[in-house]
Structure 1
Amino acid sequence: MRNILFVAAACFTLTLVSCRKEPFTEFPDYDKNWLAMEDNPNDPTIHANYQFYQETGIPVFVNDTIGSQKRVDVFGKAYTYYEVLSLSYSLGGIPSGPPPAVQSFTYCNKADVPNALTFLRTEIMPVVKNKIHIPSILLVENMNTNAFGTYSYKGFNTVVIAQISKIPAMSETTKADYKGAILRSMLTNTVLDAKYASILDKFYAVSRKFVSGRDAYGLNAFYLSASYIVGLPAGMPYTYQAIGFLGPDTRITSSAPISTWLDVSMYLEAALVNTDAQFKQKYAAYPNILLKYGYIRQILNDMGINN
């Protein structure tokens, strides 16, 4: 009997609670797509960037803070939320070694944006359009990174392109380096896709087969000796290039590239800076570099990127 009374009381309580009118809270659009550009005909820079967005589907920004929104926290206190492009990213999802990072950057002059957009239209978009997804582009002036130089960097949801004021005065050689760096930052994640895993395994194996007792990746320069390097032709010096690396890690110069993805990035940029003939001539003395280059070229050709 006691159990029946308890159940009845509980049901009565639930009925009272359900009859009480709950306040309705209408939340703002917290899931807004911040990368969807909006036009502003009164701002020539925004309007030019919006036209590029309409043509390519890629939003272009000149400030890493791309929007704001009035919000209310869980305590009912109003605050302003700022959406900021994320420049932190571990390429390929592999956080080995010191993570690549933008150490500093400065905003560009809006007057330099038209030349940057022209360069993107004529030099970059014909290579990548309809082949890969580029979430956004951030145009800046000066930039320093710990792994990828001063031209271009792949962040989480943006590709940073620097030194845009210098584009008109660039020599053909500098422009080729600049273009290669931008394309590398745009293409690396696609090249590292699981689709190409079998080819990349062969790429990594080229250097690994020459190192005994440890991994070729992250190999300290101390181990570049006959005690650890095996299988090289007689008389060939024990160097990173001899075992198939373009050079040491871009962050730790006394080590081979710590990460496989950095090795891929270095090859990718070199392949995009040079024509096929130029690359083969430059590294003619290093058959293992040419072998690894062949695997990168195989991937690029599959993506429809030929240069």
Structure 2
Amino acid sequence: MNKIYYIITLCIFIISCGKEDTLAPTGARDDYFTISPDATDPESVLRRNFYETNGVHLLFNDTLRHEQRGTNADGTPYWFTEIIDLGYSMTSLTSGLKFNYLQGQTIKETGIDFAENQILSHLGSQIRPYSILLAGQIYTYNRDQNTYKYYDFYNGMRCLAISCDKIPTMSEDEIYTFRQSILLDIASNKIKNLESSVFTEFYSFCSEYYGEYYSDLGISRPTGDDLYAYGFISSYYSSFPSRSNDVTAFTQALFNTKEQEFKEKYANFPVIIQKYNIIKNIVMDMGFKF
């Protein structure tokens, strides 16, 4: 009898399964970064062309979608808004980021020119941001102190936001400095995720000094040429830098000082030149272009 019940139950299960609709993933949603091919307004054309050229989504505000989801009990519309949430990252949170948006086609095209020719031209496809938000100003407001904090740029998890309001009046040198500060931030974040073995050769020159107190080594605090002779370009009051701080110092030098100037300054210190070249090669291997 039990065997008969088992066979009947199995048949019912097979029949019912055959009548089920094909399973489809839930929670699927549209790509709110991508511009519809049917959109013909000037801003949409700019954004679509930018993505087709650079493989990076272009934004002019932080709202990805604002759509009606229904009505409330009193009959008023219920809206759902999704923003880029630029301040969120895996390790930190900058809350309350706000933006003044770009107004007018000319300033938008100026921002695009900066993003393409100053930033993306130095980034390989593997390290380019997922999207770029071009804003007039980026800031936070402290209500308690009634103060504003302004950002030249903000590098989030899926978006790099750039403040463009001053770009039209910047000199060549100011454009260079602005560009390098953005590239340095991108490089610094990428370097943090590299395996320590990548820096084995770099560390080898100064391995006996990292983190050591000058007093323990029987030396007085080295500065200038005395410091450079050890292979360092930065130090602390009482000790040599750690491995990570040494990498940071050379990475900053790579982006903050023009190569010719750097190599002229440290021409008499071959270890420093070698360490500089190693860091440059590591950064280039990540996808940066100099």
Distance 1:169 1:114, change over 3 A: same
Distance 1:301 1:46, change over 3 A: same
CA contact (8 A) 2:67 2:80 kept: yes
Identical aligned residues as a percent: 20
SS of corresponding position for 1:110: coil
Aligned alpha-carbon RMSD (Å): 4.7
Give the Å deviation of 1:88: 3.0
**Equivalent residue number for residue 252 of structure 1:** none
Out of 142, 154, 171, the residue aligned to residue 138 of structure 2 is 142
Conservation of the 8 A alpha-carbon contact between 2:184 and 2:251: yes
Distance change in 2, residues 1:200/1:18 (3 Å): closer
Sort the Cα spacing of 1:197 and 1:225 in 2 relative to 1 into closer, same or farther, 3 A.
closer
Local SS of the residue matching 1:123: helix
**Structure 2 matches for 1:53-202, cutoff 5 A?**
53-68=51-66, 80=80, 82=82, 84-90=84-90, 99=92, 101=94, 104-111=97-104, 112-128=107-123, 132-140=127-135, 141-143=137-139, 150-162=151-163, 164-188=164-188, 198-202=197-201
Report the residue type matching 1:7 in the other structure: Y
Instruction: Select which of 262, 265, 268 maps to 1:279.
Output: 262
1:265 shift after superposition: 5.8
Match in the other structure for 1:36? 34
C-alpha distance in structure 2 between counterparts of 1:258 and 1:235, whole Å: 16
Return the letter of the residue paired with 2:99. T
Are positions 1:4 and 2:9 aligned together?
no
Provide closer, same or farther for how the CA distance between residues 267 and 61 of structure 1 changes in structure 2, counting only shifts above 3 A: farther
Q: Deviation of residue 100 (structure 1)?
A: 7.5
Q: Which moved more, 1:276-285 or 1:167-176?
A: 276-285
Alignment pair present for 1:296 and 2:279: yes
Q: TM-score, normalised by structure 2?
A: 0.65
Residue pair 1:138, 1:160 contacting (<8 A) in 2 also: yes
How far 1:46 sits from its partner (Å)?
A: 3.6
Q: Which runs of 5+ in 2 are unaligned?
A: 71-77, 141-149
Deviation at 1:296, TM superposition (A): 1.3
Displacement of 1:165 in angstroms is: 0.6
Change (3 A) 1:272 1:288: same
User: Aligned AA for 1:172?
Assistant: E
2:49 is aligned, of 48, 51, 57, to 51
- Which deviates more from structure 2 when the two are superposed, residues 28-37 or residues 57-66? 28-37
Letter matched to residue 125 of structure 1:
L
Partners of 2:271 and 2:151 in 1: CA distance: 28
Change (3 A) 1:301 1:69: same
SS in 1 for 2:222: coil
Number of residue-to-residue matches in the alignment: 267
Whether the aligned pair in 1 keeps the contact of 2:127 and 2:287 (CA below 8 Å) is no
For the Cα contact (< 8 Å) 2:177–2:256, is it kept in 1?
Answer: yes
Q: Determine the C-alpha separation between the residues in 1 that align with 2:29 and 2:240.
A: 43
2:215 paired residue number: 226
- 2:138/2:153 contact within 8 Å kept: no
State the shift of 1:60 in Å: 1.3
Q: Within 1, Cα distance between the matches of 2:157 and 2:126?
A: 19
Moved over 6 A (4+): 23-29, 69-72, 238-243, 255-259, 283-288
Which one-letter code corresponds to 1:236 in the other structure?
P
TM-score (norm 1): 0.62
CA distance in 2 between counterparts of 1:175 and 1:129 reads 20
Amino acid paired to 2:55: G
